[in-house]
Amino acid sequence: MFSFKERAIKFIFSCLAFSCLLFLLAIVVILFWQGAPLFSYMDFSQFFFGKSWYPTSQPPEFGIFPLISGSLIVTLGAMVVCVPLGIGSALYIYELSGPNSKKILKPIVEILGSIPSIVFGFFALTIAAPAIQQFFNIPTGLCALTASIILGIMAIPTITSISEDALSFVPNSFREASYALGANKFQTLFKVTIPAAASGISTSVILGMSRIVGETMTVLMVSGGAAVITSSFFSPVRPMTATIAAEMGEAAFGSLHYQALFAIALVLFMTTLVFNVIAERISQKYALKLGANR
Amino acid sequence: MLEQNIRVKAKDVSFYYGQKRALKDLNINFFTNKVTAFIGPSGCGKSTFIRLLNKMNDLIPNTRAEGKILLDDENILDKKVDAVKIRRKIGMVFQKPNPFPKSIFQNVAYGLELCSMSKKEMERVVEESLQKAALWNEVKDRLRDNALGLSGGQQQRLCIARCLAVEPEVILFDEPCASLDPISTSKIEELILELKKQYTIVIVTHNMQQAARVSDWTAFMYIGELIEFSPTKEIFVVPKEKKTQEYLSGRFG
Ligand SMILES: Nc1ncnc2c1ncn2[C@@H]1O[C@H](COP(=O)(O)OP(=O)(O)OP(=O)(O)O)[C@@H](O)[C@H]1O
Ligand SMILES: [Mg+2]
């Protein structure tokens, strides 16, 4: 009787756990199923390296290179913002600040992480974009720069909280050993603590990147929406996520355009998957490395 | 004992964790080239006291020390005294071996890198320190391997080598053998007897036999107070205090 109950509970939980797997599988299958037919119309290199994205012209063109370049430039810009700020805050909060400022700063970072992206987008649209337009004297504030800054800020909490975890995994005995040998606070930080937490910190950066690449709402609102290849932070861009969000409504079901959007989704999925797998690998190694000493 | 042989002198030392008084008016002297052992029941303040000697308690917020600990006429407890300078004179080996997750060489060289030193010189000091710590023969062919791959006993000797490399004058051991097997323990004990020729040594131990084997002087502490401080030969044979006697005969602790 008891063991039946136990088994039933175990069964229910395993169903719940496996349903995640099921959702994941369903998504992958649908992405392939809807996106793959596009490649009977055009080949991979035309899709990836095609220089124009004109889904509604006759004949339509589905080269996503401008979209990839848009994603790339925005991601790079955002990394410049979030990596130093995210890691810097983690180091300050966990290693340098006193218990009092820690009590204030930690919740603030957490709140920043819980703000919905539409709010960031709204803020960017009404405050950041006009300010940037004026400051740099450019035709529009809706450009790669604005998107980068906002996305960078959005990714800070991800990087900070995971980096903080990484720092908390560094055994205190390492720090004590360093101090006992006559190292000061900064030598201890740079020669012992950061190297010991390095893999966790890189994991945080990769996950932050994954968040930036996949972010849609903000990007849709502030990136400017021009599907042209660009190398300037001051021009409007159209990253992959924004393209899907903007055009999914108008693309006729089953049309080539529709398929092309699915193919883009597939590319995004693969990219973030790769990022996450890399992050997972690194953090596994990291657990092994410190495991012996904890 | 002649005054000039005193290396470190503690006078009326008290210590507080927040409101809680962990040490009460300790008076004790550590003599040059002698081993002093601290014994006493768990929680009596042994670690707290020896961590005062190299300012490790400064790292714990909300703590306060009173009294004086004199090293070369300088009061270690004075907040203005440079912790780095003191820690280079008074090294410490911890209860659990705590090598850095770096190579064996880098571990020993760590303290040397902090003060710029030529590579040649560094290699010489690393070898010398490993030799003094009786580890050189076991690791000389794998100096580039990660230190975490060593056995517990080897790791502890590596920590001793790392400490010797910065050329301290006093070495503090806080239960250095607590996590080691008997063979590693006896190696560390031999090492301590060898090291006392050059250094002044303070060791905390829960092992009475160990205290009897390695130390010249023994201090018995009980709930934050120093109850008895006598030559080891005497304290284990004819303890002066009743508390010491009770503790040594295993009546509490
Ligand atoms: N960081 C701390 N904060 C507050 N109280 C502490 C702290 N460290 C130690 N104490 C307290 O101070 C007292 C002395 O502790 P200490 O670690 O010095 O004892 P000990 O003699 O080394 O014990 P053991 O033999 O178990 O290592 C204990 O009552 C302990 O609870
Ligand atoms: Mg202790």
Helix, strand, coil percent values for chain B (each to nearest 5): 40, 25, 35
Average pLDDT over all residues of chain A: 90
What is the end-to-end Cα distance of chain B in Å, rounded?
A: 31
As a whole number, mean pLDDT of residues A220-230 equals 84
Token pair of B250 as six digits? 């295993």
Distance from C-alpha of A213 to C-alpha of A265, rounded to nearest angstrom = 12
Residues 6+ apart with CB under 8 A from A249: none
Predicted confidence band of residue A293 (pLDDT cuts 50, 70, 90): very low
Asked if the Cβ–Cβ distance from B148 to A289 is below 8 Å, we say yes
Query: 3-class DSSP state for residue A276?
Result: helix
Q: What integer pLDDT is reported at residue A292 of this predicted model?
A: 42
Distance B19 CA to ligand 1 centre (A): 14
Q: Which of B47, B110, B117, B126 to probe the A interface (max A CBs under 10 A)? A: B110
Pairwise CA distance, residues A200 & A203, whole Å: 5
Q: Which two tokens stand for residue A71?
A: 């994603």
pLDDT at B252: 64
Look at residue A279 and tell me whether its pLDDT is greater than 70.
yes
In chain A, what are the domain boundaries?
4-40, 44-293
d(C-alpha A183, C-alpha A192), whole Å: 10
Q: How far apart are CA B160 and CA B99, in angstroms?
A: 10
- Span B55-79, average pLDDT: 92
Q: Which fold has domain A44-293?
A: MetI-like fold (1.10.3720)
Among candidate residues B3, B24, B22, B25, the one with its CA nearest the CA of residue B12? B25
Separate counts of helices (H) and strands (E) for chain A: 14, 2
DSSP string, A130-144: HHHHHHHT-S-S-SH
Torsion of CA B207, B213, B215, B216, to 10 degrees: 140
pLDDT above 90: residue B10 = yes
Token pair listed for B196: 């006392």
The pLDDT value given to residue A178? 96
In this structure, of A122-131, A146-155, A229-238, B132-141, the range with the lowest mean pLDDT score is: A229-238
Ligand 1 binding pocket includes B137 (Cβ within 6 Å) = no
Q: Is the pLDDT of residue A132 over 60?
A: yes
B83 neighbourhood in chain A, CB within 8 Å: 179
Residue A290: predicted pLDDT: 58
Calculate mean pLDDT across residues A80-92. 96
Q: What is the pLDDT of residues B72-87, one digit of tens each?
A: 889 999 989 999 999 9
Residues in contact with B21: Cβ distance below 8 Å, sequence separation at least 6, in sequence order:
B14, B15, B224
Average pLDDT of the residues in A36-62? 90
Query: What whole-number distance in Å separates Cα of residue B223 and Cα of residue A71?
Result: 65
Strand order of the β-sheet with B20-31 is B20-31, B6-17, B63-71, B74-75
Q: Is the dihedral of CA B90, B96, B102, B106 positive or negative?
A: positive
Residue B91 CA to residue B108 CA, distance in Å, equals 13
Contact call for A289 and B159, based on CB within 8 A: no
pLDDT value at A1 more than 70: no
Number of residues assigned to chain B: 253
- Amino acid identity for residue A4 in this structure: F
Confidence band of A294 (pLDDT split at 50, 70, 90): very low
Express as a percent the part of chain A with pLDDT over 70: 96
Q: Measured between alpha carbons, how far is A17 from B116 in angstroms, rounded to an integer?
A: 56
| Cβ <8 Å between A182 and B101 | no
Q: What is the pLDDT of residue A68?
A: 93
Closest CA to A140 of A224, A229, A217, A249: A224
Give the model's confidence band at A216: pLDDT under 50 very low, under 70 low, under 90 confident, else very high.
Answer: confident
Residue pair B108/B160 in contact (Cβ under 8 Å)? The answer is no
Q: How far is the CA of B11 from the centre of ligand 1 (A)?
A: 21
Asked if B32 and B48 count as a contact pair (C-beta separation under 8 A), the reply is no
Contacts of B124 (CB under 8 A, 6+ apart): none
pTM: 0.85
Q: Which CATH superfamily is domain B3-248 in?
A: P-loop containing nucleotide triphosphate hydrolases (3.40.50.300)
Judging contacts by C-beta atoms under 8 Å, the chain A residues touching residue B100 are 174, 177-178, 192, 196
Of the given ranges (A13-22, A82-91, A94-103), which has the lowest mean pLDDT?
Answer: A94-103
Q: Interface pTM (ipTM) of the complex?
A: 0.92
Ligand 2 mean position, distance from CA B43 (Å): 7
Reduced to 3 states, what is the DSSP secondary structure of residue A241? helix
pLDDT band at residue B202 using 50, 70 and 90 as cut-offs: very high
Which stretch of DSSP H or E encloses residue B81? none
Structure tokens at B211: 């205290």
Mean pLDDT of B91-116: 93
For residues B237 and B239, give the distance between their C-alpha atoms in angstroms, rounded to a whole number: 6
Q: With CA atoms as reference, report the closest residue to A78 among A199, A274, A226, A233.
A: A233
Going from N- to C-terminal start, the domains of chain B cover: 3-248
Is the pLDDT reported for residue B117 higher than 50? Answer: yes
pLDDT tens, residue by residue, B163-181:
999 999 999 999 999 888 8
- Collapsed DSSP state (helix, strand, coil) of residue A12: helix
pLDDT for position A287: 61
pLDDT digits (tens, 9 = 90+) for B182-200: 988 998 999 999 999 999 9
CB B37 within 8 A of CB B205: yes
In whole angstroms, what is the distance from residue A146 CA to residue A141 CA?
Answer: 7
Residue A135: how many CB atoms within 10 A of its CB? 10
